[in-house]
Amino acid sequence: MKLVLTGTVASLLLAAGGAAMAQSNSPEPDYTLTFNVGAVSDYRVRGIAQTSFKPAIQAGADFAHKSGFYAGTFASNVKWVKEFNGATKGSYELDLYGGFKDAITATTSYDVGLITYRYPGNNSGAAGTPGAGAFANASTTEIYGALTYKIYTLKYNRSLTNFLGNLNSKGSQYFDLSAAIDLGTGFTLTPHIGRQLVPHQALPADYTDVALTLAKDMGGGLVLTGALMDTNAKRSFYTDLNGHYLGRGTVVLGAKYTF
């Protein structure tokens, strides 16, 4: 069957095509603002359990300016402030961060910034609470810098305060090496190795963590993840008040929706 377009229909299609081309050539917006919500089966930070192996509900927001400046926030429920530091208050985490990122060459970019991990109302180390002699306030601030070359990223964090309530731990460091491997059809595989250094602790607090994460972009802003994680963190340091070893290996499943 031969399809013949009338002049009116042809004109409409040409107009639509021109509009689409104009839209595709529209200038880059000055900024973007996105929001996200998600859940994980076990909230881990640098391989260490934050919710005592229980699920976490999480949300965040990100602002990015075309100049390279960005800022954002992230929130999640946590258990470790009470069950590891012995606080009676401190059930959720609120992160605030900001920085600047830009390209150096076509294959290399950098990212520098500051992040603060807040645990509103926490009384970690407060007089009269369990563990008062061993901990300080749990909230922590770090500076960071990252260098990305093709699929590889090397990142460095350094604390400007006591690190997560550990006394005399200012200057704690974290080294993070990862790669984002595009497997096609929306799949990305990310191997990771990290090294946490916490100075001036009575028990050995330094450790290495590893992870292998498979992510699937489902489209429409939804990403599903599955991760294998493990650490060599010392049980003598990373066991909470309930006898749970927070550095044990695990599988973490997650879902995140960005809009």
Closest CA to 108 of 68, 153, 145, 144: 153
Spatial separation of the C-alpha atoms in residues 166 and 117, rounded to whole Å: 14
The Cα angle at residue 119 between residues 31 and 162, in degrees rounded to 5:
100
Q: Class for domain 30-258, per CATH? A: mainly beta
0.85 exceeded by the pTM? Answer: yes
Are the C-beta atoms of residues 191 and 179 closer than 8 Å to each other?
Answer: yes
Calculate the alpha carbon distances from 162 to 96, 98, 223 in Å: 17, 20, 34
Beta bridge partners of 212: 191, 228
Residue range 40-88, pLDDT digits in tens:
999 999 999 999 999 999 999 999 999 999 999 999 999 999 999 999 9
Question: Is the pLDDT assigned to residue 5 strictly greater than 70?
Answer: no
Average pLDDT of the chain, as a whole number: 91
Spatial separation of the C-alpha atoms in residues 161 and 124, rounded to whole Å: 14
Q: Domain coordinates of the chain in residue numbers?
A: 30-258
Spatial separation of the C-alpha atoms in residues 193 and 210, rounded to whole Å: 4
